[in-house]
Amino acid sequence: MIKLLNPKIVRKIWGGCKLEVMKGISPSRGLEPVGETWEINDEELPYLAKFIDTSDELSIQVHPGDEYAKAYENSLGKTECWIILEAAPKAGIYLGLKPGITKTHLEKALVEGLAINELLNFYEVSAGDFFFVPAGSIHAIGKDITLAEVQQNSGITYRVWDWMRLDDLGKSRELHVEKSLDVINFESSANQLDYFHFKKNLFQSPGIKELCSHPNFHLFLLNMSAGEKLNPSLIDNNRPCSVLNLAGKIRVNQQEISSYEAATFYDEGQLHFEAIEDGSLLLIL
């Protein structure tokens, strides 16, 4: 069975304008802009996939691992990964603590109201960059970036710092400092670029490329030219697989999927991909 999916539209104070164009969404007109579209969002799946577009920085945040999330939130933890689709010049992400930053340093900076972004590594990004972000990694997506995100199916986010930002009513968003300090991974080896499985220029390599493997999602990128056919061998697992199309129309087991659309495949056994146009897609097993 093949199920084409209707996205959930999520409006955010930091949202941009590109998702409205990409997805054919009516203009906001007085509402907060569209920050996310949840493309694969099934309660029965252990993974979730979305598009994110920013016009401002997201909060500096962290997600708990499975053990902490189960104990304190009755939830899965949240490991996630990103593939950059578009980015303005000099746009980037904050990911991991700078060398020498300890829990004591971070806690002191929060108490003193200092700019927490200055304690994090900043990486300029461009289309085709990939980052795997394990639970416990402090991070923030910067402004003027459009990306696809695949994550554990969990909404648990602890905000560490929110740029002193206020909403239209002059109120700041809730912070979760105590829980954040509980779960942030302060180990130096867990705050370096290689820890995040960084990859670059991914859209320039034809064929199938494995991006990451996690107990709740196994992620591949397929870059295909018009007319090309691929029949990847699927790893034996007991859950449905999904496709998030990043660009170009494709056909999967006779189901056409347009740019920025998603589909989940139940009990298909084998997937047959045919590119109707040049494009790229994510395959989630």
We report the CATH number of the domain holding residue 214 as 2.60.120.10
Average pLDDT (239-256) is 95
pLDDT bin (cut points 50, 70, 90) of residue 233 is confident
Print burial letters for 4-29: b (CB count within 10 Å at least 16), e (below 16).
Answer: ebebebbebbbbbebbbebbeeeeee
Distance from CA of residue 244 to its chain's centroid?
A: 12
Positive or negative: CA dihedral 31, 32, 38, 42: negative
pLDDT in tens, 113-140: 999 999 999 999 999 999 999 999 999 9
184 and 242 part of one domain: no
Q: How many CB atoms lie within 10 A of CB 44?
A: 8
Positive or negative: CA dihedral 150, 156, 159, 160: negative
- If you ran DSSP here, which 8-state letter would residue 45 be given? S
How far apart, in Å, are the Cα atoms of 231 and each of 3, 52, 86, 225, 273?
19, 29, 28, 14, 6
AA letter at 224: M
156 and 246 part of one domain: no
Domain containing 158: what range?
A: 57-196
Choose the final residue of a domain: 196, 224, 249: 196
> For residues 142 and 173, which has the higher predicted lDDT (pLDDT)?
142
AA letter at 127: A
In angstroms and rounded to an integer, the radius of gyration of the C-alpha atoms of the chain is 19
Q: Name every residue whose Cβ is closer than 8 Å to that of residue 121 and which is 6 or more positions away in sequence.
A: 94, 95, 96, 97, 98, 191, 193
pLDDT bin (cut points 50, 70, 90) of residue 235 is low
Residue 15 is assigned to a structural domain of this protein: no
Question: How many domains is the chain partitioned into structurally?
Answer: 2
Q: Name every residue whose Cβ is closer than 8 Å to that of residue 172 and which is 6 or more positions away in sequence.
A: 162, 164, 165, 166
Choose the final residue of a domain: 196, 227, 248: 196
70 and 186 part of one domain: yes
Q: Residue 204 pLDDT > 80, yes or no?
A: yes
pTM, rounded to two decimals: 0.95
3 state DSSP class of 135:
coil
Question: Which residues have a catalytic role annotated?
Answer: 159
